[in-house]
A and B are shown apart, each in its own frame.
Chain A
Amino acid sequence: MDLVRDVLDKRLMDREDCEMGRVDGLVMRIGENSQPRITHIEIGGRTLWMRLHPGIAKLAATLARRWGPKRTTTVRIPWSHVVATGKELKLDVEARETGAIDWEIWIARHIIERIPGGGHEEEE
């Protein structure tokens, strides 16, 4: 399997087939003499903006401190939760618990649901 072609930037689905975002980064652990291993998938936040430019990452962090869900660390999901790869990556987690959709929930609750006709995010 090739990481850039088959994993990076692919969509992520949780165990209920909910959208979780995309693979924005992959963390590789390197040891002195041991084979490097991929330990985590990173989603959104600093990781994503760092791919453009560190300056943009700083700006995004400043804006996120003032507005939006209060989250201080990038969403990290251990690689061991990857169930299947292919057109998208399937993970053995629940999207809500990982924090991957914090922004979606925040915007739903604070903006969308306040407008008539917006519905309720909890509804099924």
Chain B
Amino acid sequence: MEINIEQLLGTKVCDIDGNDVGRIEEFRVERDGKSCLVDAYLIGASALIQRLSAWTLVRPIERFLNARKIYTIYRVPWQDMDLTDPRHPRLRVRKRDLRHAK
């Protein structure tokens, strides 16, 4: 299946129990010669900023704030992400088992 990653940006992600985790903010990849493999997804989570994120205007600024580590970002390895429905990505693990991104 082919997905355009820019369409995935900002999509809400739920964990395996259906709990809100956050929105897809970034795709971490490794370059291997001529190919490019997706290693992990970065999910940004913050109740307040997430509510503000509904506005397109604020979302990119929110992404910018990521770099400042002003709120939580989770790192989800590619194996733990289920993209069979690209509009409703689901994790294969629980929210509490997630690791924080560096």
Contact = CB atoms under 8 A, between A and B. Distances in A.
Contact of A4 (B4, B26, B34, B38): B26
Interface in A37-56: 37-39, 42, 47, 50-51
Contacts of B30: 1
B35 A80 contact: yes
A4 B9 contact: yes
A58 to B, nearest CB: 16
B39 to A, nearest CB: 8
Given A4-B26, A30-B1, 4 more contacts: A25-B5, A26-B6, A38-B36, A51-B6
Contacts of B1: 29-30
Interface in A74-96: 79-80, 82
Contact of A38 (B26, B38, B63): B38
Interface in B3-50: 3-7, 9, 25-31, 34-39, 42
Given A30-B1, A80-B35, A1 B26 contact: no
B3 A8 contact: no
Contacts of B29: 1-3, 38
Contact of A50 (B7, B39, B78): B7
Interface of A: 1-5, 8, 24-30, 35-39, 42, 47, 50-51, 79-80, 82
Contact of A37 (B4, B38, B83): B38
Nearest to A36: B38
A4 B36 contact: no
A79 B1 CA distance: 17
B2 A29 contact: yes
